[in-house]
Chain A
Amino acid sequence: MELSELIKNKVMLSVAVGVGLTALLGGAIYFESEHITEVQLEIDGRKAEIVAAHSLVAGTPDLVKQVVVERETDAVVAEILPSEEDINNFVRTLRGFEEASGVRITAVKKKSLNSKEKRDFARVVYQLTFEGDVFGLMGFIDQVESDSRFMSVPAFKLAAAAREKVDAEGKPLHKVTLDVETYVYEPQKASDPQKIDGYERKVEQLAAAIDERRARLQVASYEYLGSRDRRDPFVDPRTPADSLLGPMMTLEEQLAVVDGLVERASDLQASWKSYHELSDFEARVQAGVTFEKQLFTLEEDVRLLQVEGSLRDLDAGRRFREEVVPTVADLRVAMGESQYGHGPALELLKEAREVMAGHLAVGRFEQALAALTPLEAGLDRAAEDEARAPLVAEIRDLAFRARTAMDFDDLELVLGGVIVGEHSVALVDGKSVEEGEMVAPDLFVQSIEEDRVEFLYRGIALARLVSQ
């Protein structure tokens, strides 16, 4: 009854509908606000992503450059640490080292390893046993350390050869056990390389950076210059007492002889230097001849000592080998093959010819002959040499011309006057002579001109001016 009354009450119904509608709208607004908040969060997130992406992409050009440089220099890494397939070449390389260093490998063994892997690189160690002197060992290690493939020597042992064996075999053969370590490049699974637009152009633009990185990746190595006459420190250097006795030179004498040779070699080095500083040809030729004589004598003394084997003392022998022999050899190389005792050298003859021709061209006959003087004594011997004979002939011809010209100057010829015409006539020493007529032995009139008469003297044309 009350309910029906209520239903009948329109006002109450309207209120109820109104309240329901209000609740519905409130709910709709609430859910819409929630949705808007979610979208706002999404927008904020997206904006942050975009900002981050922009910031990331801004660095792409620099990254592209880096990757281009790295790709281009990856070959260097591959060369320094080649792949697994090259391990056989590694063993062949060791064989090459053996030959180059002069040692004799007697065993090669691959060592099993505890795990010491370096990410993309797998370690490989070979143990080698060989015989050789210390310089062979150093040569071998040098080959190992300077190879384009990266290798190192983590351990080695040397058992020094006994003194008796060194004496018997003539050279020390130490027993060496040496570990050679290398790494094999085993790249782990890598992502596919990105395609870079205009790659070739970028490579060209980045050439300097590529070269710089390539150089940085190269592993520096030591420059080993060989034994350089140093003694093997694993050999007992003491001198046998009996070798210092007998008819041979005493220890003091040997040292004194070597001292003398060192001094002479040193003096010759100084002479060679000053010889080059001389600008005057005659003085230089004279110095050259003296130098050559001294060098020849020194060479003879060195040769004699080598043949006799008089230097038994190790220190004297070493000084002789290091300070005398190489100096003499260097001087000989600088001087050229020996001409001493065989006349002047080819180069000297060429220079003499040029100097003499120069003097003759300007009428300096005496200077031309002076240039020949220091060489004259050896010309006959030089003429026996096929290579130098033509030059000797030329020089002699120049000397003959110079002497002839000087003799011609000494001739007392009085030119009274000339008549030039169909039959030209000259008045020489009061006598009229025509062209072709003989004036004196070996002296003929070759031509007559208004201001001069040309003579043929000992086959050489020489002229005299007609006095006005």
Chain B
Amino acid sequence: MITINLLPEEYRPQPGITPKKAALIASGALVNASLLAWWCWLSIGVSASMSSELAQLDEDMAGLTPQVDFHRGLESEHRQYLSRETTLDEITSERISWTRKMDEMVDLVDHGSKASRYLVWLGNLNVSQVADARRDAYGMFRAEGFSGSGNFANVANYLEDLEESSFAQGFNSPAPPEGSQSKVDEELVPSEVWSFPVELSLKSPEERKSDGTK
């Protein structure tokens, strides 16, 4: 049987919410309520607590900042002193005491004649100290040597003593003995003289340091 409701629309009874719809609305409301609770927990609980922790840390850092600035200032001052001292060390460590070297040379020549091993004297002298690591050149001690004797072995004696003396410290070994006999002068005793070169090249500053050259 077919029933027809002839009442106008506004007078007809409204259909009720079905259980299915009610369940849908309730679950939607529950989800939203959960989301709202989560958001509240995040913004009021977690976020506020973290902001407070950050503020505390900022405060701690603010307390430390003057100390850190003081430390940095001291570090900067210390670096300046350190740099100056390093430079000073570089400058001073490169110096060779030529007083010592010349004193040792005078001793050597003097002792040789006292011990009658040789009678040696020097002519023009040229000493230079340079720093040219590329050419492996650090300076030279160059002099004209004279031996008052007809015996060339005396030159060898002198060069041997020279090589073994403290003077030679910091220098590379001298070249093997070579020389030529000068004109004989009968007005002087001894009359015969051998002339020979005295040439020694300086070692590098590092080698001199490890040698203990002063």
Q: Which residues of A line the B interface, CB within 8 A?
A: 11, 14-15, 18-19, 21-22, 25-26, 28-29, 32-33, 35-36, 39-40, 42-43, 46-47, 49-50, 53-54, 56-57, 59-60, 63-64, 66-67, 70-71, 74, 77, 80-81, 118-121, 134, 137-138, 141-142, 145-146, 150, 152-160, 183, 187, 190-194, 217, 219-222, 224, 230-242, 244, 315, 318
Contacts and interface: CB of A to CB of B under 8 A. Distances in A.
Contact of A222 (B17, B42, B82, B100): B100
Most buried by A among B67, B73, B88, B124: B88
Most buried by A among B35, B82, B83, B190: B35
A196 B59 CA distance: 25
Given A14-B25, A154-B128, A25 B78 contact: no
B205 to A, nearest CB: 13
Contacts, number: 238
Main secondary structure of the interface of B (DSSP, over half): helix
A159 B124 contact: yes
Given A160-B123, A194-B77, A318-B114, 20 more contacts: A15-B25, A43-B54, A53-B67, A74-B81, A77-B85, A120-B83, A120-B84, A138-B102, A141-B102, A154-B130, A155-B127, A155-B129, A156-B127, A190-B80, A192-B73, A222-B103, A224-B100, A240-B187, A240-B188, A315-B114
A160 B124 CA distance: 5
Given A50-B60, A145-B98, A134 B106 contact: yes
B43 interface: yes
5 contacts: A29-B42, A50-B57, A142-B99, A222-B214, A241-B186
Contacts of B122: 160, 233-234
Contacts of A232: 106
Interface residues of B, number: 84
B1 interface: no
Contact of A150 (B50, B74, B91): B91
Contact of B107 (A59, A142, A230, A235): A230
Contacts of B170: none
B88 A59 contact: no
B214 to A, nearest CB: 7
Contact of B87 (A49, A119, A154): A119
Given A19-B28, A121-B91, A237-B119, A244 B189 contact: yes
Given A50-B61, A150-B91, A156-B127, A25 B148 contact: no
B121 A237 contact: yes
A74 B125 CA distance: 39
A233 B120 contact: yes
Interface of B: 17, 21, 24-25, 28-29, 31-32, 35-36, 38-39, 42-43, 46-47, 50-51, 53-54, 57-58, 60-61, 64-65, 67-68, 70-71, 73-78, 80-85, 87-88, 90-92, 94-100, 102-103, 105-107, 109-110, 113-114, 119-130, 146, 148, 186-191, 214
Contacts of A237: 113, 119, 121, 148
B187 A77 contact: no
A156 B98 CA distance: 10
